[in-house]
Amino acid sequence: MTDTLLQSIITGVLMGFVYALIAVGLSIIYGVMNVVNFAHGDFVMLSMYLSYMAGTLLVWDAVATPLITVPLLFLFGFITYYLLIDKTLRQLYVVQLAVTVGLQIFLRSLALIVWKAQPRALQYSIIQGNIEFFGYSILTSRLIAAVVSLIFIAAIAYFLNKTWAGAAIRAASDDLDTASLMGVNYHRTYALTFAIGAALTAIAGGLLMSFQQTDPQGGMRFGVLSWCVMALAGLGSLPGLIAAGVIVGVAEAVAVTFFDPRSRLLAIYMIFILVLWLKPRGLFGRK
Binding site for other proteins (CB under 8 A): 36, 84, 87-88, 91-95, 97-99, 101-106, 108-110, 112-113, 116-117, 216, 220, 224, 227, 231, 260, 262-263, 265-266, 269-270, 272-273, 276-277, 280
Cβ atoms 278, 233 nearer than 8 A = no
- Residue 130, strand partner residues: 139
Residues 221, 270: Cα–Cα separation, whole Å: 14
How far apart CA 21 and CA 16 sit, in angstroms, is 9
For 153, other C-beta atoms within 10 Å of its C-beta total 21
Nearer to other proteins, 79 or 98 (CB): 98
Residue 184: what residue type?
A: V
Q: Which residue, 64 or 265, has its beta carbon nearer to other proteins? A: 265
CA atoms within 13 A on the CB side of 63: 17
Q: Give the shortest CB-78-to-other proteins separation in angstroms.
A: 17
Burial class (CB in 10 A: 0-12, 13-18, 19+), 186: buried
- Where b means 16+ CB within 10 Å and e means fewer, 36-53 reads bbbbbbbbbbbbbbbbbb
Closer CB to other proteins, 175 or 260, in the complex = 260
CA 89, CA 96: separation in Å to the nearest integer? 8
Closest approach of Cβ 93 to other proteins, in Å?
6
**C-alpha to C-alpha distance for 96 and 117, rounded to whole angstroms:** 28
Burial of residue 93 (CB within 10 Å: 0-12, 13-18, 19+) is exposed
> Which is nearer to other proteins, 36 or 165 (by Cβ)?
36
Min. distance of Cβ 60 from other proteins in angstroms?
28
What's the closest the beta carbon of residue 3 comes to other proteins, in angstroms? 26
Q: 195 or 271, CB closer to other proteins?
A: 271
Comparing CB distances to other proteins, the nearer of 6 and 274 is: 274
Given the complex with other proteins, which of 82 and 136 has the nearer CB atom? 82
Q: What spatial distance separates the first Cα and last Cα of the chain, rounded to whole Å?
A: 40
| Min separation Cβ 224 and other proteins, Å | 7
CA angle (191, 192, 194) in 5-degree steps: 65
Least distance (Å) from other proteins to the CB of residue 94? 5
Phi and psi torsions of 133, nearest 5°: -140, 100
Q: By C-beta, is 126 or 274 nearer to other proteins?
A: 274
